[in-house]
Amino acid sequence: MDGDGKCRKRTQLSLPAVCLLSILSLNSLSSISNTATLFIYAAATASSLSPPPPPADKEVLLNLKSFLLQNNPIHRGLYSVWNASDPSHCHWPGISCNSHGHADGIDLHDSSISGGIFPNFSLLPALARLDLSSNTLSGPIPPDLSQCRRLRYLNLSHNLIGGRIPPEYGRISTLQLLDLSFNRLSGGIPPQVGYLTSLLWLMLANNELAGEIPPEIGNCSSLLWLNLANNRLTGGIPTEIYRGISYIQSLDISVNNFSGEFPDSLNGLSYLNKFNVSFNPFLRGIIPASGQIATFDSSSFIGDPLISFSISSLQNSSPPMPAAVPLFLFGIICWIFLCLKARSRSATHHFLNSYQDSTFPREESLAMDQLISSPPASLNPPSSAVFSGQHLLLRMNKMAAFTYPDIVAATLNFSADKLIGCGGYGEVYAGVLPDGRPVAIKKLKSGGAEGERAFRAEVETLGGGHPNLVALHGWCLVGSKKLLVYEYMPGGSLEDVIKDRHGFTWEQRVAAAVAVARALVYLHHECTPAVVHRDVKASNVMMDASGAVKLTDLGLARVVAEGRSHVSTVVAGTVGYVAPEYGQTWKATTKGDVYSFGVLVMELAMGRRAVEDGGEEGVVEWRGRVGEDGVMQVAAEEGWWEAAGKEVMRKLLWVGMVCTAEAPHRRPDMREVLKLMVNFVEEQPNK
CATH architecture assigned to 494-683: Orthogonal Bundle (1.10)
How many CB atoms neighbour CB 594 within 10 A? 25
Cβ within 8 Å of residue 515, ≥6 positions away: 468, 541, 548, 549, 550, 551
669 in helix, strand or coil?
A: coil
Q: Would you say 302 and 331 are in contact if contact means Cβ atoms under 8 Å apart?
A: yes
The string of pLDDT tens digits covering residues 238-269 is 888 877 787 888 899 999 999 999 888 888 88
How many angstroms separate the CA atoms of 115 and 68, rounded? 8
Instruction: Check the CA dihedral 26-30-35-40 and report its sign.
Output: positive
How many angstroms separate the CA atoms of 638 and 603, rounded? 16
CA distances from 480 to 366, 447, 461 (A): 19, 9, 21
Nearest in space to 477 (alpha carbons), one of 261, 671, 678, 248? 248
The predicted pLDDT at position 460 comes to 58
CA distances from 299 to 12, 57, 234, 326, 365 (A): 94, 50, 21, 14, 21
The predicted pLDDT at position 609 comes to 81
Identify whether 535 is a catalytic site residue.
yes
Nearest in space to 287 (alpha carbons), one of 301, 276, 273, 274? 301
CATH 3.30.200.20 is the classification of domain 387-487:
yes
Catalytic residue among 104, 535, 553, 593: 535
Nearest in space to 541 (alpha carbons), one of 518, 516, 517? 516
Q: Would you say 261 and 238 are in contact if contact means Cβ atoms under 8 Å apart?
A: no
How many angstroms separate the CA atoms of 50 and 659, rounded? 82
The DSSP annotation for 297-335 comes to -GGGGTT-TTEEE-HHHHHH-SSPPPPHHHHHHHHHHHH
The DSSP call for residue 172 is: -
How many angstroms separate the CA atoms of 102 and 401, rounded? 17
Low-confidence ranges of the chain (pLDDT < 70): 1-55, 74-76, 310-403, 423-425, 445-464, 477-481, 554-573, 583-586, 612-616, 628, 631, 634-644, 683-687
How many angstroms separate the CA atoms of 605 and 600, rounded? 9
6 in helix, strand or coil?
A: coil
How many angstroms separate the CA atoms of 183 and 205, rounded? 8
The string of pLDDT tens digits covering residues 525-553 is 888 777 888 889 998 899 988 889 999 87
Q: Would you say 675 and 518 are in contact if contact means Cβ atoms under 8 Å apart?
A: no
The predicted pLDDT at position 254 comes to 92
Q: Is 443 annotated as a binding residue?
A: yes
φ, ψ for residue 463, nearest 5 deg: -70, -20
The predicted pLDDT at position 216 comes to 92
Nearest in space to 496 (alpha carbons), one of 484, 480, 508, 486? 508
How many CB atoms neighbour CB 63 within 10 A? 14
Domain boundaries along the sequence of the chain: 387-487, 494-683
- Rounded to the nearest 5 percent, the helix, strand and coil shares of the chain are 35, 20, 45
The predicted pLDDT at position 521 comes to 93
